[in-house]
Structure 1
Amino acid sequence: MAKKPIGPVRRVFAPWKDPNAVPFIEFRNVTKRFGDFTAVNNLSLKVYEREFFALLGGSGCGKTTLMRMLGGFETPTEGQILLEGQDLAGVPPFRRPTNMMFQSYALFPHMTVEGNIAFGLKQDKMAKADIEERVQEMLRLTKLQPFAKRKPHQLSGGQRQRVALARSLAKKPKVLLLDEPLGALDKKLREETQFELTALQESLKMTFMIVTHDQEEAMTVADRIAVMEAGEIIQVATPAEIYETPNSRFVADFIGDVNLIEAKVMETSEAGTKLQAVGEDFQIETSQKVGVNVGASVWYAIRPEKIRIVLGEEPLHKVNATSAVVWDIAYLGDVSIFHSKVGEDHTLRSTVANVTRLVERPISWDEQVVLSWDGDAGVILTS
């Protein structure tokens, strides 16, 4: 019986689960050094055809360098990069079946929208009639027909972004590389464009690879995400798997908001694991099994939305529950985030959806509350 996926699945598409699937793009033990600095360190990765793949990480983690090596703008110090089984070593950028959309968009200010889209096609000496047809196709695809005769300075940020996208797609590359493509857009437009990108990628049945430091952006658009740190890949998984089952404290802390509770292993059995929170009087029970000995130090990662908060003095049991005092509240409209002190030194965050217009008495500052969670609401991390 197939394992049920974690979280919502955007589409029925998971070639990485097929042991016989052949990767479309493959990085084999790739290292890139700039002098004494190692930007990418012995990295291996497989990306599949028609996948929307995200490279996610903070500044300087190596994600852009990795993409630039695929595009041919940087050369690996060691290792191989293959596309459809072909080693790309020595192949210049303009000979690769890839196209990169840069963060700055790099539009030609003296050309119209049509001219910008047609530029690469003219460089390839495509027939004039074919160029016109392809430009019109791209204008329709990106909804830019009304702006075809305008120049970049006459367009909004979102429209310029779509021109850059249309120009990148015009040559019909096998892989579209997107380097922080939405960074210049405001929050609302960025969110709208993310969904437009996913719809476009699915309709074109192309392989997209995006570099971003925006967690929400990666989780919205990507089929899979590679979380990077210091030139290495820490975890590769679907957005839901990355969020719900991070493999380390780094990933748990980098993706979304999380409470990390230091704990000691009290018991391990076929039924699961029992933990004692360090410096606190509550315990954690979960069905998760961990390969560590009793007494080992671990961390329990639990997302704020998984923690219930109610007014009260003491929980009935000190298992998966604790008393606390509210010391800060952030009201964000759709949700409220409660910061509650547990003991003297620890704080747990809990998120409550504001589903009513405060019909019930709200929890306020300095009130005694009980925090509780289900046994499998969090995950035990050993690294």
Structure 2
Amino acid sequence: MAGAQKSLGNIRRNFDPWNDPAAKPLIEFDHVTKRFADSVAVDDLSLGIYTREFFALLGPSGCGKSTLLRMLAGFEEPTSGDIRLGGKSLKGVPPYRRPLNMMFQSYALFPHMSVEKNVAFGLKQDGMARSEIDARVDEMLKLVKLEPFRRRKPSQLSGGQQQRVALARSLAKRPKVLLLDEPLGALDKKLREETQFELMDLQQELGLTFVIVTHDQEEAMTMADRMAVMRAGRICQVAPPAVVYEAPTSRYVADFVGNVSLIEAEVESVAGGLAVLRSASGRIETETTVPLSPGQTVAFAIRPEKVRLSRRAPEAGAANTLTGTVWDIGYLGDVTLFNIKLTDGTLVRSTVINAARVASEQIAWEEEVTLSFARDAGVVLAE
């Protein structure tokens, strides 16, 4: 799998320093723990993030991702462990002395200041010469396409424009690392999708390292070179988005990232990279590299787009062919999502692309159907 990661994740560029044994991370979390009274927010966590990487911390509320970002920014100190930037420990270094900047979800713009004054604020605090400030502000406003709005107040801007002002202010000091804490949460869906690509373009143009915290899996998968899926202060899996999606290492990761069906099964046999599983609803043959033994209880995880739906009755004893009843149907525009209840009560999802404007002979609710999938369509999860 390591060799395949080169083209996965942020697929617009060929970038995978994590596969180079000689590459050293720019940011290193070394056995970091953070406690608040009796609560453990981050639990003995180690992680490396590389120069020019767009890295996403993904997880539900309360999993520790924002705490991790705040410790990197200097707003919180680790209870134990160390955080290094460029090989140097950040212990005791105040936030304003760290070569990084943080963009918050609320944007925190000064309402009484114009756009250009908001962008210039940090530069003035650093004592930069007026001519240099003016040139830098011009550069940043051009970068985020806000030149015509330079004299407006934040209240005179849309949510997307306010987000760009906050981004320009964060980038004005030219930090080595930009930290983004749920930066797109206040935007509507369409604007959020547009802004994701704009952030990717900016990050590559500026050559900076971006670390984003989000609970939105689509946001993380769109923008990140790699993503870390977190749970209860720990990292469950770190990999490019396509690897996390196609080859999750646990039920939690499979279930958290994207839609998935989990079929409980028992290992019948394993030979030559092929496992035969026996579930209550039928026999499953699947390719796997997970160490398994006969009699072991596992979950077979499969994504909806890899499940084929048919009215045809299955062949007797055929593998990877299950029968069930249509339980729910969801029309999503580009696809229709079917929830199929198998004979043992397990729900399996299947998506059908709506290639035609008008569907003919659409599979209906409560109809008996056959589900089928290829040997390499799903993954076996032992934990």
Q: Give 3-state SS (helix, strand or coil) of 2:78's partner.
A: coil
Distance 1:37 1:147 in 2: 45
Task: Report the TM-score, using the length of structure 1 for normalisation.
Answer: 0.97
Gaps of 5+ in 1: none
Deviates more, 1:119-128 or 1:354-363: 354-363
Distance 2:203 2:289 in 1: 39
Deviates more, 1:267-276 or 1:127-136: 267-276
Asked whether the 8 Å contact 1:273–1:290 carries over to 2, the reply is no
1:376 is matched with which residue?
Answer: 376
Distance 1:347 1:240 in 2: 24
| Alpha-carbon offset, residue 219 of structure 1 | 0.4
1:132-189 superposed Cα distances (whole Å, 9 cap, x missing partner): 0000000000000011000000000000000000000000000000000000000110
2:297 is matched with which residue?
Answer: 297
Q: How many equivalent residue pairs?
A: 381
2:183 is matched with which residue?
Answer: 181
1:223 is matched with which residue?
Answer: 225
Task: Indicate how the Cα distance of structure 1 residues 344 and 301 shifts in structure 2: closer, same or farther if over 3 A, else same.
Answer: closer
1:90-138 superposed Cα distances (whole Å, 9 cap, x missing partner): 0000000010001110000000000000000000000000000000000
Q: Give 3-state SS (helix, strand or coil) of 1:130's partner.
A: helix
Counterparts of residues 209-358 of structure 1 (less than 5 Å) = 209-277=211-279, 279-280=280-281, 282-315=282-315, 317-358=317-358
Distance 2:319 2:377 in 1: 13
Distance 1:365 1:36 in 2: 50
Asked whether the 8 Å contact 1:142–1:162 carries over to 2, the reply is yes
Distance 1:126 1:264 in 2: 67
Q: One-letter code of the match for 2:179?
A: L
Distance 1:347 1:182 in 2: 33
Q: Give 3-state SS (helix, strand or coil) of 2:4's partner.
A: coil
Distance 2:201 2:190 in 1: 17
Distance 1:104 1:316 in 2: 59
Q: Give 3-state SS (helix, strand or coil) of 2:3's partner.
A: coil
Deviates more, 1:308-317 or 1:292-301: 308-317
| Alpha-carbon offset, residue 80 of structure 1 | 0.5
Deviates more, 1:292-301 or 1:361-370: 361-370
Q: Give 3-state SS (helix, strand or coil) of 2:228's partner.
A: strand
1:27-64 superposed Cα distances (whole Å, 9 cap, x missing partner): 00000000111100110000000000000000000000
Task: Report the TM-score, using the length of structure 2 for normalisation.
Answer: 0.97
| Alpha-carbon offset, residue 316 of structure 1 | 5.1
Q: Give 3-state SS (helix, strand or coil) of 1:4's partner.
A: helix
Q: Give 3-state SS (helix, strand or coil) of 1:80's partner.
A: strand
| Alpha-carbon offset, residue 315 of structure 1 | 4.0
| Alpha-carbon offset, residue 328 of structure 1 | 1.4
Counterparts of residues 145-224 of structure 1 (less than 5 Å) = 145-224=147-226
Deviates more, 1:355-364 or 1:133-142: 355-364
2:19 is matched with which residue?
Answer: 17
| Alpha-carbon offset, residue 85 of structure 1 | 0.6
Q: Give 3-state SS (helix, strand or coil) of 1:67's partner.
A: helix
1:100 is matched with which residue?
Answer: 102
Give the aligned CA root-mean-square deviation in angstroms: 1.4
Distance 1:218 1:365 in 2: 34
Q: Give 3-state SS (helix, strand or coil) of 1:81's partner.
A: strand
Distance 1:43 1:149 in 2: 45
Q: One-letter code of the match for 1:72?
A: G
Asked whether the 8 Å contact 1:273–1:289 carries over to 2, the reply is no
Asked whether the 8 Å contact 1:270–1:289 carries over to 2, the reply is no
Identity of aligned residues (%): 61
Deviates more, 1:314-323 or 1:171-180: 314-323
| Alpha-carbon offset, residue 2 of structure 1 | 8.4
Gaps of 5+ in 2: none
